[in-house]
Structure 1
């Protein structure tokens, strides 16, 4: 039986893992820093929503093609190039903020580039573990990556909130830029044999069409991703945009950063329990995990207290850990290696396509009915979607067997 650390004995996974941990350390600071950099320029949830949506729109628009690209090329090479581009974008953002010349349109343009790069790196990243490790090592690998990301994420948002309150958001953004470069260096050490691409189509579009047909034949990819569409729209608006705005008027950037760290704590702690649990109905687990994200919305809509909100994010983090493990184990068992990135890109597209709607709509809705009531409405909608999706046969009938059964 594999131990929690046994995947690190494989050199290729070890370098990939180190690169991801370094990358996540910077990114855990960047979200808080960018939000308050925007609020320093314009104290408006609409402005923040515009900047966040500028990242999301190209990410969604190019996600499907990004998956086809990641399946055609060596995924480690794709990730390395994406990290270098992201580092350049974040360095430019940090320079503008530190020089106190940043305007909303500057941040919008830079986030457009960052979102486009992410559309390729996301499916490439999620196709790595199954080609780095044998079947028996994959569950501990997923949990190890999840725990390590959450461990650095515990301190990251809190440190970012402190930096924002003292030195300003530019320094946190600069640190994130540096971590992208370090991550690219680690990925340069990953050596993998080329995968079987004998079935590849002559063009990227042809590969995408083949991936879409395979996803439809599986039967469960699109229903789960469609449920994720609603969940992500609600979370991106309620927690990504309206959350910092409410915090800015109540607990401040330090309190918000500390509370968001609770999510990483939830992911970290839940992984210990999940290592001892055998998932039999994984996709229903995904749906239930999303429902736990309604807890922070309830707190933000009623009584905003730093420690209460942190506890709510601990619960939400446990849900994210459930989602991550259940979905990854399902895909690695049911999908062949040559299709991994395309399936992940289709899931990503459906999961994220409504995020810009949530990010742009949350501001006007909060103005119309109030920020607190908007949070409560989002929480109720989350629970209703969970109740419907968790009972759908296409979601509940998928079972894990413990061994790959994906068609070639």
Structure 2
């Protein structure tokens, strides 16, 4: 492992844990100091700027050095969390202040997310990217599992304000890891094109990859389905499978499945990564069907393990495939469309699951979601690119219409 790769992993570990602390800390703080509507407003103020700015962030990630974009994003999140901590400690809490700071946090998340794929390409040699993406996936999974408990413990021990201050310090430490980062692969310097032109060029490049567009749609389907399952699953577990303890067991087993899947992804002899990602996503239909059919506890738990295992295998394979097949100079813009669909679909599932279940019950929406997840991923198998081996596919140069319409050629030998 090179020093730059080590810095990247340390920085993303700190940032992942800090990011996972934020929702629980805000929730626990506002439960005691505000109303449910206040909590919804603050969380929405974090989500909406992130969604709206993702396309902009994609252009920025392709225009500027990615390690600097991630560095600034971490510093902005650090400042916002330190300010939230100071606000919570000083009291009384002003919801408007928290909403503005949450919006800054969400905007920074959007810019950092768009740049991280490009940063991996710049820092990590191609043979090591799958293993690096798998390690990043393990870090993310552990953070999502451990951070809520840590935030709750900090809340009980020292209060939400100190928890937010710790989160800000973690972001500062994450940013510090990028200060001396030296990417091994740099892009040719080029004259910046107009923003609208670069955005349009990113969309042109995105349409050039049917496998990507089709996969992004299926990702949106399972993220939407996950919103339904994570809303209705706990209700079913509490009512029919043994109470709160049943859902805790199911969720923890699912987390273990996710981590095992991520760990296995870089070690399994996978030659057709897009085929594997389609199968991995399709496995999420199993827990949807198990909950919908009111299966016994052991069946539901096993199904959730398999579904999360599939998503664990999917994540590093998908990231590595994008980094291999999408030109580096367009990776931020193309990847932003993937992030936009994924980040938007799950909150939509959260928002509509309860009203839909109230109108028609929990069985029908979960079974319909299971069918949609399975069918969408089965349809991917009709694309020839999905069956291509990783050894035979490389990123092609950006097409002429993208270059001539929006950018200055990077070298005189660019294929025409």
TM-score when normalising by structure 1:
0.80
Q: Which residue of 2 aligns with 1:29?
A: 21
**Does 2:328 correspond to 1:337?**
yes
Over 3 Å counting, the alpha-carbon distance change for 1:194 and 1:384 in structure 2 is closer
**Does 2:386 correspond to 1:394?**
no
Over 3 Å counting, the alpha-carbon distance change for 1:302 and 1:397 in structure 2 is closer
**Kept after mapping to 2: 8 A contact 1:157/1:260:** no
SS of 2:181's equivalent in the other structure is coil
**Kept after mapping to 2: 8 A contact 1:160/1:257:** no
Alpha-carbon distance in 1 for matches of 2:130, 2:82: 35
Which of 7, 10, 14 does residue 6 from structure 2 map onto?
14
Cα deviation for residue 70 of structure 1 reads 0.7
Alpha-carbon distance in 2 for matches of 1:346, 1:17: 24
SS of 1:397's equivalent in the other structure is helix
Q: Which residue of 2 aligns with 1:352?
A: 343
Cα deviation for residue 280 of structure 1 reads 3.5
Q: Which residue of 1 aligns with 2:405?
A: none
Q: Which residue of 2 aligns with 1:156?
A: 147
RMSD: 3.8
**Kept after mapping to 2: 8 A contact 1:53/1:360:** no
Q: Which residue of 1 aligns with 2:113?
A: 122
Q: Which residue of 2 aligns with 1:227?
A: 218
Alpha-carbon distance in 1 for matches of 2:165, 2:115: 25
Instruction: Please give the residue correspondences for 1:3-402 in structure 2 after superposition, counting only pairs within 5 Å.
Output: 8=1, 10-41=2-33, 44=36, 48-99=39-90, 101-102=92-93, 104-164=95-155, 167-192=158-183, 195-197=186-188, 202-236=193-227, 239=230, 262-293=253-284, 314-362=305-353, 364-365=355-356, 368-369=358-359, 373-374=361-362, 377-378=365-366, 380-392=368-380, 393-394=382-383, 397-402=386-391
SS of 1:402's equivalent in the other structure is helix
Spell out, residue by residue over 1:348-384, the C-alpha distance to the aligned partner (whole angstroms, 9 max, x if none): 1232334453344345446x449xx458724641442
Cα deviation for residue 32 of structure 1 reads 2.6
Larger-Rg structure:
2
**Kept after mapping to 2: 8 A contact 1:269/1:318:** yes
Spell out, residue by residue over 1:246-282, the C-alpha distance to the aligned partner (whole angstroms, 9 max, x if none): 9999978x99888756554333322343233133443
Please, which moves more after superposition, 169-178 or 376-385?
376-385
**Kept after mapping to 2: 8 A contact 1:60/1:353:** yes
**Kept after mapping to 1: 8 A contact 2:286/2:307:** yes
Alpha-carbon distance in 2 for matches of 1:173, 1:242: 30
Unaligned runs of 5+ in 2: 398-416
Alpha-carbon distance in 1 for matches of 2:7, 2:161: 29
Please, which moves more after superposition, 210-219 or 271-280?
271-280
Over 3 Å counting, the alpha-carbon distance change for 1:263 and 1:385 in structure 2 is closer
Cα deviation for residue 237 of structure 1 reads 6.1
Over 3 Å counting, the alpha-carbon distance change for 1:292 and 1:355 in structure 2 is same
